[in-house]
Amino acid sequence: MSSKKFHLGWFTNFTPDEWNEPFSNGGNSWDGKFHIEMAQSLDRAGFDFIMLEDKLAIPEAYGGSFEVYLKHALGMAPKHDPVPLATLLAASTKNLGVVATMSTLGYPPFLLARLCSTIDHLAGGRFGWNIVTSAENAAAQNFGLDRLPPREERYERAHEYMDLVFKLFDSWEDGAIVRDRASGTYADFKKVHKIDFEGKYFKSRGPLNTARSPQGRPTLLQAGGSPTGRDFAAQYADAVIAVGGGVAGMKEYRDDIRARAKKHGRNPDDIKVMFLVTPVLGETEREARDRHERITQAPGFIEQNLALISAITDIDFKKFDLEKPLPERLVTNGEQGSLDMFQQWGTSKTLRQLVVEASGGICASIELVGTPDQVADQMGEANEQVGGDGFLITTPSLCTNRRHIAEVTDGLVPALQRRGLVRDGYTHKTLRENLRAF
Protein backbone atom coordinates (compact mmCIF):
# COMPACT_ATOMS: atom_id res chain seq x y z
CA MET A 1 0.00 0.00 0.00
CA SER A 2 1.18 3.52 -0.75
CA SER A 3 2.49 5.40 2.29
CA LYS A 4 1.26 8.73 0.93
CA LYS A 5 -0.59 10.59 3.66
CA PHE A 6 -4.04 12.01 3.15
CA HIS A 7 -6.03 14.70 4.93
CA LEU A 8 -9.09 14.37 7.16
CA GLY A 9 -11.97 16.77 7.73
CA TRP A 10 -15.37 16.48 9.38
CA PHE A 11 -18.51 17.79 7.71
CA THR A 12 -21.27 18.83 10.13
CA ASN A 13 -23.53 21.77 11.02
CA PHE A 14 -24.92 23.76 13.94
CA THR A 15 -28.04 21.64 14.40
CA PRO A 16 -29.14 19.15 17.06
CA ASP A 17 -27.04 16.05 17.58
CA GLU A 18 -28.57 12.65 16.78
CA TRP A 19 -31.15 13.54 19.40
CA ASN A 20 -33.61 10.62 19.24
CA GLU A 21 -31.16 7.72 19.10
CA PRO A 22 -29.08 5.83 21.69
CA PHE A 23 -25.94 7.65 22.84
CA SER A 24 -27.52 11.01 22.03
CA ASN A 25 -26.92 14.35 23.66
CA GLY A 26 -30.68 14.88 23.79
CA GLY A 27 -30.82 17.49 21.03
CA ASN A 28 -30.09 20.47 23.26
CA SER A 29 -26.82 21.54 21.66
CA TRP A 30 -27.43 25.27 21.30
CA ASP A 31 -24.85 26.42 23.86
CA GLY A 32 -22.08 24.99 21.66
CA LYS A 33 -20.66 22.63 24.29
CA PHE A 34 -21.38 19.47 22.28
CA HIS A 35 -19.59 20.94 19.26
CA ILE A 36 -16.68 22.15 21.42
CA GLU A 37 -16.14 18.62 22.73
CA MET A 38 -16.38 17.30 19.19
CA ALA A 39 -13.82 19.80 17.86
CA GLN A 40 -11.44 19.03 20.71
CA SER A 41 -11.63 15.32 19.86
CA LEU A 42 -10.86 16.09 16.21
CA ASP A 43 -7.99 18.38 17.28
CA ARG A 44 -6.51 15.58 19.36
CA ALA A 45 -6.87 13.14 16.44
CA GLY A 46 -5.04 15.40 13.98
CA PHE A 47 -7.91 16.37 11.68
CA ASP A 48 -7.19 19.24 9.30
CA PHE A 49 -10.51 20.94 9.91
CA ILE A 50 -14.13 20.79 11.00
CA MET A 51 -16.48 22.28 8.42
CA LEU A 52 -19.83 23.79 9.41
CA GLU A 53 -22.37 23.55 6.59
CA ASP A 54 -25.25 26.03 6.44
CA LYS A 55 -28.53 26.87 4.72
CA LEU A 56 -30.48 30.13 4.88
CA ALA A 57 -34.06 28.85 4.96
CA ILE A 58 -36.31 26.13 6.34
CA PRO A 59 -37.02 23.99 3.27
CA GLU A 60 -40.43 22.95 2.13
CA ALA A 61 -39.22 21.17 -0.99
CA TYR A 62 -40.44 17.76 0.22
CA GLY A 63 -44.22 17.64 0.01
CA GLY A 64 -44.50 21.43 0.03
CA SER A 65 -44.25 21.57 3.83
CA PHE A 66 -41.85 22.27 6.70
CA GLU A 67 -43.23 19.21 8.52
CA VAL A 68 -40.62 16.51 7.83
CA TYR A 69 -37.68 18.86 8.32
CA LEU A 70 -38.85 20.16 11.69
CA LYS A 71 -40.25 16.86 12.94
CA HIS A 72 -36.95 15.05 12.52
CA ALA A 73 -34.56 18.05 12.88
CA LEU A 74 -33.09 17.00 9.56
CA GLY A 75 -29.92 19.07 9.49
CA MET A 76 -31.86 21.91 7.86
CA ALA A 77 -33.84 23.27 10.80
CA PRO A 78 -33.58 24.25 13.51
CA LYS A 79 -30.15 25.48 12.47
CA HIS A 80 -28.10 28.26 14.04
CA ASP A 81 -25.55 30.53 12.41
CA PRO A 82 -22.19 28.72 12.06
CA VAL A 83 -19.99 31.84 12.23
CA PRO A 84 -20.22 32.53 15.99
CA LEU A 85 -19.81 28.79 16.62
CA ALA A 86 -16.68 28.74 14.45
CA THR A 87 -15.16 31.46 16.62
CA LEU A 88 -16.01 29.49 19.75
CA LEU A 89 -14.49 26.29 18.34
CA ALA A 90 -11.30 28.09 17.31
CA ALA A 91 -10.92 29.45 20.84
CA SER A 92 -11.39 25.95 22.26
CA THR A 93 -8.80 24.16 20.09
CA LYS A 94 -5.08 24.53 19.35
CA ASN A 95 -4.43 23.25 15.82
CA LEU A 96 -7.73 22.28 14.18
CA GLY A 97 -8.88 24.39 11.26
CA VAL A 98 -12.42 25.76 11.61
CA VAL A 99 -14.45 26.37 8.45
CA ALA A 100 -17.77 28.23 8.32
CA THR A 101 -20.17 28.32 5.39
CA MET A 102 -21.16 31.82 4.28
CA SER A 103 -23.28 32.53 1.24
CA THR A 104 -22.59 35.21 -1.36
CA LEU A 105 -26.37 35.67 -1.31
CA GLY A 106 -26.50 36.56 2.38
CA TYR A 107 -23.38 38.64 3.01
CA PRO A 108 -22.36 41.91 1.31
CA PRO A 109 -18.74 41.48 0.16
CA PHE A 110 -17.29 44.08 2.55
CA LEU A 111 -19.05 42.52 5.55
CA LEU A 112 -17.87 39.02 4.65
CA ALA A 113 -14.26 40.09 4.06
CA ARG A 114 -14.20 42.00 7.37
CA LEU A 115 -15.72 39.05 9.23
CA CYS A 116 -13.27 36.54 7.73
CA SER A 117 -10.31 38.73 8.58
CA THR A 118 -11.52 39.19 12.16
CA ILE A 119 -12.11 35.48 12.78
CA ASP A 120 -8.79 34.49 11.19
CA HIS A 121 -7.06 36.74 13.74
CA LEU A 122 -9.04 35.20 16.60
CA ALA A 123 -8.26 31.70 15.27
CA GLY A 124 -4.55 32.37 14.80
CA GLY A 125 -4.73 31.67 11.06
CA ARG A 126 -6.94 28.59 11.28
CA PHE A 127 -10.14 29.96 9.76
CA GLY A 128 -11.68 28.85 6.49
CA TRP A 129 -14.61 30.08 4.41
CA ASN A 130 -16.78 27.53 2.60
CA ILE A 131 -18.06 29.47 -0.42
CA VAL A 132 -21.66 28.89 -1.45
CA THR A 133 -23.99 30.87 -3.70
CA SER A 134 -27.16 29.32 -2.18
CA ALA A 135 -29.26 27.10 -4.41
CA GLU A 136 -32.75 27.33 -2.90
CA ASN A 137 -35.56 29.69 -3.88
CA ALA A 138 -36.65 29.74 -0.23
CA ALA A 139 -33.29 31.27 0.71
CA ALA A 140 -33.63 33.91 -2.01
CA GLN A 141 -37.09 34.79 -0.68
CA ASN A 142 -35.59 35.43 2.77
CA PHE A 143 -33.46 38.15 1.19
CA GLY A 144 -36.15 40.00 -0.73
CA LEU A 145 -36.01 38.08 -4.02
CA ASP A 146 -38.85 36.15 -5.61
CA ARG A 147 -36.55 33.42 -6.86
CA LEU A 148 -32.89 32.63 -7.43
CA PRO A 149 -31.22 33.96 -10.55
CA PRO A 150 -30.36 31.26 -13.10
CA ARG A 151 -27.29 29.21 -12.23
CA GLU A 152 -25.01 30.86 -14.80
CA GLU A 153 -25.91 34.33 -13.51
CA ARG A 154 -25.27 33.16 -9.94
CA TYR A 155 -21.77 32.10 -10.92
CA GLU A 156 -21.18 35.32 -12.85
CA ARG A 157 -22.09 37.26 -9.70
CA ALA A 158 -19.94 34.93 -7.61
CA HIS A 159 -16.86 35.52 -9.77
CA GLU A 160 -17.28 39.28 -9.38
CA TYR A 161 -17.87 38.79 -5.64
CA MET A 162 -14.59 36.88 -5.34
CA ASP A 163 -12.73 39.53 -7.30
CA LEU A 164 -13.98 42.17 -4.89
CA VAL A 165 -13.32 40.27 -1.64
CA PHE A 166 -9.79 39.40 -2.80
CA LYS A 167 -9.11 43.08 -3.41
CA LEU A 168 -10.49 43.85 0.05
CA PHE A 169 -8.35 41.15 1.70
CA ASP A 170 -5.30 42.57 -0.08
CA SER A 171 -6.10 46.23 0.65
CA TRP A 172 -3.71 45.94 3.60
CA GLU A 173 -0.17 44.97 2.64
CA ASP A 174 1.95 42.64 4.74
CA GLY A 175 3.80 44.78 7.25
CA ALA A 176 1.25 47.60 7.26
CA ILE A 177 1.17 47.45 11.06
CA VAL A 178 4.55 48.77 12.24
CA ARG A 179 3.94 49.76 15.89
CA ASP A 180 6.87 52.21 15.74
CA ARG A 181 7.11 53.86 19.17
CA ALA A 182 9.78 56.33 18.08
CA SER A 183 7.53 57.93 15.45
CA GLY A 184 4.29 57.13 17.24
CA THR A 185 3.07 55.19 14.19
CA TYR A 186 0.85 52.17 14.60
CA ALA A 187 -0.01 51.52 10.92
CA ASP A 188 1.75 52.81 7.79
CA PHE A 189 -0.93 54.54 5.72
CA LYS A 190 1.17 54.01 2.56
CA LYS A 191 0.54 50.27 2.89
CA VAL A 192 -3.26 50.55 3.17
CA HIS A 193 -5.11 51.20 -0.10
CA LYS A 194 -8.51 52.15 -1.41
CA ILE A 195 -9.73 49.74 -4.06
CA ASP A 196 -12.54 51.83 -5.66
CA PHE A 197 -14.13 48.69 -7.09
CA GLU A 198 -17.08 49.08 -9.44
CA GLY A 199 -18.44 46.03 -11.25
CA LYS A 200 -21.68 44.88 -12.81
CA TYR A 201 -23.16 43.73 -9.49
CA PHE A 202 -21.01 45.16 -6.69
CA LYS A 203 -19.31 48.41 -5.76
CA SER A 204 -16.98 49.17 -2.86
CA ARG A 205 -14.57 51.94 -1.93
CA GLY A 206 -12.39 49.93 0.44
CA PRO A 207 -10.02 49.40 2.12
CA LEU A 208 -10.99 47.03 4.91
CA ASN A 209 -10.76 48.67 8.30
CA THR A 210 -9.40 45.44 9.80
CA ALA A 211 -5.73 44.53 9.94
CA ARG A 212 -4.46 41.99 7.41
CA SER A 213 -5.09 38.54 8.86
CA PRO A 214 -2.51 35.81 9.56
CA GLN A 215 -3.35 33.95 6.32
CA GLY A 216 -3.94 37.14 4.33
CA ARG A 217 -7.03 35.47 2.94
CA PRO A 218 -8.99 32.75 4.72
CA THR A 219 -8.52 29.19 3.53
CA LEU A 220 -11.18 28.69 0.86
CA LEU A 221 -13.40 25.62 0.46
CA GLN A 222 -16.00 25.03 -2.22
CA ALA A 223 -18.14 22.16 -3.50
CA GLY A 224 -18.40 22.00 -7.28
CA GLY A 225 -20.50 19.31 -8.93
CA SER A 226 -21.56 20.73 -12.28
CA PRO A 227 -18.93 21.67 -14.89
CA THR A 228 -19.41 25.36 -13.99
CA GLY A 229 -19.11 24.55 -10.29
CA ARG A 230 -15.98 22.49 -10.84
CA ASP A 231 -14.36 25.32 -12.75
CA PHE A 232 -15.22 27.79 -9.98
CA ALA A 233 -13.73 25.46 -7.36
CA ALA A 234 -10.58 24.89 -9.42
CA GLN A 235 -10.07 28.65 -9.77
CA TYR A 236 -10.44 29.63 -6.10
CA ALA A 237 -10.51 26.75 -3.60
CA ASP A 238 -7.75 25.48 -1.35
CA ALA A 239 -9.88 22.39 -0.70
CA VAL A 240 -12.79 21.02 -2.71
CA ILE A 241 -15.71 19.13 -1.15
CA ALA A 242 -16.59 16.31 -3.51
CA VAL A 243 -18.72 13.22 -3.94
CA GLY A 244 -17.34 10.53 -6.22
CA GLY A 245 -19.31 7.61 -7.62
CA GLY A 246 -16.87 4.93 -6.47
CA VAL A 247 -13.11 4.95 -6.94
CA ALA A 248 -13.36 5.50 -10.70
CA GLY A 249 -15.65 8.49 -10.20
CA MET A 250 -13.37 9.91 -7.51
CA LYS A 251 -10.32 9.65 -9.77
CA GLU A 252 -12.17 11.26 -12.70
CA TYR A 253 -13.30 14.13 -10.48
CA ARG A 254 -9.87 14.79 -8.97
CA ASP A 255 -8.12 14.59 -12.34
CA ASP A 256 -10.67 17.03 -13.78
CA ILE A 257 -10.22 19.54 -10.92
CA ARG A 258 -6.45 19.37 -11.27
CA ALA A 259 -6.61 19.89 -15.04
CA ARG A 260 -8.93 22.88 -14.60
CA ALA A 261 -6.65 24.34 -11.92
CA LYS A 262 -3.68 24.12 -14.26
CA LYS A 263 -5.64 26.01 -16.94
CA HIS A 264 -6.23 28.76 -14.38
CA GLY A 265 -2.49 29.01 -13.80
CA ARG A 266 -2.58 27.31 -10.41
CA ASN A 267 -0.41 24.54 -9.02
CA PRO A 268 -2.79 21.54 -8.82
CA ASP A 269 -0.99 20.31 -5.70
CA ASP A 270 -2.24 23.42 -3.87
CA ILE A 271 -5.83 22.11 -4.13
CA LYS A 272 -6.92 19.22 -1.92
CA VAL A 273 -9.94 17.26 -3.12
CA MET A 274 -11.80 15.93 -0.05
CA PHE A 275 -14.31 13.15 -0.71
CA LEU A 276 -17.37 12.76 1.51
CA VAL A 277 -17.62 9.39 3.25
CA THR A 278 -19.91 7.93 5.91
CA PRO A 279 -17.95 5.14 7.66
CA VAL A 280 -19.90 2.57 9.67
CA LEU A 281 -17.63 0.88 12.20
CA GLY A 282 -17.91 -2.18 14.41
CA GLU A 283 -15.71 -4.48 16.48
CA THR A 284 -16.27 -7.13 13.80
CA GLU A 285 -17.27 -6.87 10.16
CA ARG A 286 -20.56 -8.62 10.94
CA GLU A 287 -21.36 -6.07 13.63
CA ALA A 288 -20.61 -3.21 11.23
CA ARG A 289 -22.75 -4.80 8.48
CA ASP A 290 -25.62 -5.27 10.91
CA ARG A 291 -25.37 -1.62 11.98
CA HIS A 292 -25.38 -0.45 8.38
CA GLU A 293 -28.46 -2.54 7.67
CA ARG A 294 -30.23 -1.20 10.77
CA ILE A 295 -29.51 2.35 9.61
CA THR A 296 -30.87 1.86 6.10
CA GLN A 297 -33.88 -0.20 7.27
CA ALA A 298 -34.83 2.10 10.13
CA PRO A 299 -38.36 3.56 10.13
CA GLY A 300 -38.29 6.93 8.48
CA PHE A 301 -34.88 6.47 6.82
CA ILE A 302 -36.23 6.69 3.27
CA GLU A 303 -38.50 9.66 4.00
CA GLN A 304 -35.85 11.58 5.93
CA ASN A 305 -33.19 11.16 3.28
CA LEU A 306 -35.52 11.91 0.40
CA ALA A 307 -36.39 15.10 2.25
CA LEU A 308 -32.67 15.94 2.45
CA ILE A 309 -32.03 15.42 -1.26
CA SER A 310 -35.21 17.40 -1.99
CA ALA A 311 -33.85 20.34 0.03
CA ILE A 312 -30.48 20.17 -1.71
CA THR A 313 -31.90 20.02 -5.23
CA ASP A 314 -35.18 21.94 -4.82
CA ILE A 315 -37.07 18.96 -6.33
CA ASP A 316 -39.97 17.29 -4.51
CA PHE A 317 -39.04 13.60 -4.42
CA LYS A 318 -42.21 12.78 -2.51
CA LYS A 319 -44.12 12.75 -5.80
CA PHE A 320 -42.08 9.86 -7.27
CA ASP A 321 -42.80 6.14 -6.82
CA LEU A 322 -40.23 4.52 -4.54
CA GLU A 323 -40.38 1.24 -6.45
CA LYS A 324 -39.74 2.75 -9.90
CA PRO A 325 -36.76 4.45 -11.53
CA LEU A 326 -36.80 8.23 -11.63
CA PRO A 327 -37.85 9.96 -14.86
CA GLU A 328 -35.09 10.41 -17.44
CA ARG A 329 -32.62 13.03 -16.35
CA LEU A 330 -34.10 15.60 -13.99
CA VAL A 331 -32.94 19.22 -14.20
CA THR A 332 -32.84 21.83 -11.45
CA ASN A 333 -31.78 25.41 -10.84
CA GLY A 334 -30.53 24.10 -7.48
CA GLU A 335 -27.52 21.81 -7.04
CA GLN A 336 -27.45 20.00 -10.39
CA GLY A 337 -24.20 18.19 -9.60
CA SER A 338 -25.69 16.67 -6.43
CA LEU A 339 -28.81 15.70 -8.37
CA ASP A 340 -26.80 13.96 -11.11
CA MET A 341 -24.75 12.06 -8.54
CA PHE A 342 -27.85 10.94 -6.67
CA GLN A 343 -29.95 10.07 -9.70
CA GLN A 344 -27.22 8.11 -11.52
CA TRP A 345 -29.19 8.83 -14.67
CA GLY A 346 -29.08 6.11 -17.29
CA THR A 347 -29.51 3.33 -14.71
CA SER A 348 -32.66 1.32 -13.98
CA LYS A 349 -32.36 1.50 -10.18
CA THR A 350 -35.50 2.29 -8.24
CA LEU A 351 -35.72 5.41 -6.11
CA ARG A 352 -35.57 3.24 -2.97
CA GLN A 353 -32.34 1.63 -4.19
CA LEU A 354 -30.81 5.03 -4.91
CA VAL A 355 -31.52 6.24 -1.37
CA VAL A 356 -30.08 3.11 0.27
CA GLU A 357 -27.00 3.09 -1.95
CA ALA A 358 -26.36 6.77 -1.29
CA SER A 359 -26.75 6.19 2.47
CA GLY A 360 -28.85 9.33 2.50
CA GLY A 361 -29.31 12.62 0.74
CA ILE A 362 -25.59 13.46 0.97
CA CYS A 363 -24.08 10.74 -1.20
CA ALA A 364 -21.07 8.80 0.06
CA SER A 365 -18.19 8.48 -2.38
CA ILE A 366 -17.41 4.86 -1.46
CA GLU A 367 -18.90 2.37 0.98
CA LEU A 368 -16.86 2.12 4.18
CA VAL A 369 -18.24 -0.62 6.44
CA GLY A 370 -16.16 -2.81 8.73
CA THR A 371 -13.73 -2.79 11.62
CA PRO A 372 -11.41 0.20 12.04
CA ASP A 373 -8.57 -1.79 10.48
CA GLN A 374 -10.71 -2.88 7.52
CA VAL A 375 -11.99 0.64 6.87
CA ALA A 376 -8.46 2.06 7.21
CA ASP A 377 -7.30 -0.39 4.54
CA GLN A 378 -10.25 0.55 2.31
CA MET A 379 -9.48 4.27 2.65
CA GLY A 380 -5.79 3.71 1.96
CA GLU A 381 -6.48 1.62 -1.14
CA ALA A 382 -8.99 4.16 -2.47
CA ASN A 383 -6.58 7.04 -1.87
CA GLU A 384 -3.79 5.20 -3.67
CA GLN A 385 -5.97 4.54 -6.72
CA VAL A 386 -7.44 8.04 -6.80
CA GLY A 387 -4.09 9.77 -6.17
CA GLY A 388 -5.21 11.76 -3.07
CA ASP A 389 -6.06 13.98 -1.31
CA GLY A 390 -8.29 13.12 1.60
CA PHE A 391 -11.70 12.35 3.09
CA LEU A 392 -14.43 14.45 4.66
CA ILE A 393 -16.24 12.35 7.24
CA THR A 394 -19.94 12.81 7.87
CA THR A 395 -23.09 10.81 8.59
CA PRO A 396 -26.11 10.17 6.34
CA SER A 397 -28.19 12.84 8.10
CA LEU A 398 -25.26 15.09 9.14
CA CYS A 399 -26.36 14.49 12.75
CA THR A 400 -23.91 12.70 15.02
CA ASN A 401 -23.32 11.55 18.59
CA ARG A 402 -20.38 11.13 20.95
CA ARG A 403 -20.08 7.41 20.22
CA HIS A 404 -19.71 7.98 16.50
CA ILE A 405 -17.07 10.66 17.10
CA ALA A 406 -15.11 8.40 19.47
CA GLU A 407 -15.27 5.47 17.05
CA VAL A 408 -13.57 7.61 14.42
CA THR A 409 -11.09 9.55 16.55
CA ASP A 410 -10.14 6.68 18.88
CA GLY A 411 -10.71 3.73 16.56
CA LEU A 412 -10.35 4.61 12.90
CA VAL A 413 -7.71 7.35 13.17
CA PRO A 414 -5.23 5.23 15.20
CA ALA A 415 -5.63 2.47 12.58
CA LEU A 416 -4.84 5.01 9.86
CA GLN A 417 -1.87 6.36 11.83
CA ARG A 418 -0.43 2.85 12.28
CA ARG A 419 -0.41 2.60 8.48
CA GLY A 420 1.25 6.00 8.08
CA LEU A 421 -1.78 7.28 6.17
CA VAL A 422 -2.65 10.36 8.26
CA ARG A 423 -0.68 12.80 10.40
CA ASP A 424 0.20 12.04 14.01
CA GLY A 425 0.95 15.70 14.76
CA TYR A 426 0.66 19.16 13.28
CA THR A 427 3.67 20.72 11.59
CA HIS A 428 2.33 24.21 10.83
CA LYS A 429 0.29 26.94 12.46
CA THR A 430 -2.24 27.91 9.76
CA LEU A 431 -4.96 25.86 8.11
CA ARG A 432 -3.66 26.51 4.59
CA GLU A 433 -0.12 25.47 5.55
CA ASN A 434 -1.35 22.23 7.15
CA LEU A 435 -3.38 21.41 4.04
CA ARG A 436 -0.30 21.93 1.87
CA ALA A 437 2.03 20.01 4.18
CA PHE A 438 1.54 16.83 2.08
DSSP per-residue string spanning 334-386: S-HHHHHHHH-TT----HHHHHHHHTSSS--SS--EE-HHHHHHHHHHHHHHH
Least confident of 64-73, 173-182, 192-201, 262-271: 64-73
In a domain, 176, yes or no: yes
Say yes or no to pLDDT of 52 above 80.
Answer: yes
pLDDT of residue 11: 96
Q: How many domains does the chain have?
A: 1
Rg (CA), the chain: 22
pLDDT of residue 346: 58
Least confident of 180-189, 312-321, 413-422: 312-321
Confidence of residue 1 (pLDDT cuts 50, 70, 90): very low
Q: Identify the three-state secondary structure at position 401.
A: coil
Q: Stretch 330-359: mean pLDDT, rounded?
A: 74
The dihedrals phi and psi of 235, each to the nearest 5 degrees, come to: -80, -35
Confidence of residue 3 (pLDDT cuts 50, 70, 90): low
Average per-residue pLDDT for the chain: 91
> Domain of 23?
7-435
Say yes or no to pLDDT of 146 above 80.
Answer: yes
> Alpha-carbon distance 304 to 310, whole Å?
10
Q: Could you say which DSSP state residue 178 is in? A: E
Say yes or no to pLDDT of 26 above 50.
Answer: yes
Using a pLDDT cut of 70, give the percent of the chain over it: 95
In a domain, 51, yes or no: yes
pLDDT of residue 396: 73
Say yes or no to pLDDT of 28 above 50.
Answer: yes
pLDDT of residue 145: 92
pLDDT of residue 361: 42
pLDDT of residue 417: 98
pLDDT of residue 363: 57
pLDDT of residue 358: 67
Q: Identify the three-state secondary structure at position 159.
A: helix
Single out the residue of 16, 17, 72 nearest to residue 308, CA to CA.
Answer: 72
pLDDT of residue 334: 66
pLDDT of residue 339: 77
Say yes or no to pLDDT of 269 above 90.
Answer: yes
Q: Which residues are annotated as a binding site for FMN?
A: 54, 101, 155, 226
Say yes or no to pLDDT of 21 above 90.
Answer: no
In a domain, 2, yes or no: no
Say yes or no to pLDDT of 24 above 90.
Answer: no
In a domain, 1, yes or no: no
Q: How many helices (H) and strands (E) does the chain have?
A: 16, 14
Say yes or no to pLDDT of 5 above 80.
Answer: yes
For the purposes of burial, counting CB atoms within 10 Å of the CB of 333, is it exposed (0-12), middle (13-18) or buried (19 or more)?
middle
In a domain, 119, yes or no: yes
Q: Which residues are annotated as a binding site?
A: 54, 101, 155, 226
**CATH number for the domain that contains residue 248:** 3.20.20.30
In a domain, 86, yes or no: yes
In a domain, 245, yes or no: yes
Q: Stretch 342-358: mean pLDDT, rounded?
A: 76
In a domain, 198, yes or no: yes
Single out the residue of 169, 125, 215, 121 nearest to residue 426, CA to CA.
Answer: 125
Bigger pLDDT: 361 vs 14? 14
Single out the residue of 32, 122, 37, 34 nearest to residue 82, CA to CA.
Answer: 32
Single out the residue of 208, 6, 12 nearest to residue 98, CA to CA.
Answer: 12
Confidence of residue 276 (pLDDT cuts 50, 70, 90): very high
Single out the residue of 239, 244, 281 nearest to residue 363, CA to CA.
Answer: 244
Bigger pLDDT: 364 vs 39? 39
Say yes or no to pLDDT of 333 above 50.
Answer: yes
Least confident of 73-77, 107-111, 125-129: 73-77
Using a pLDDT cut of 90, give the percent of the chain over it: 68
CA terminus-to-terminus distance, the chain: 17
Confidence of residue 345 (pLDDT cuts 50, 70, 90): low
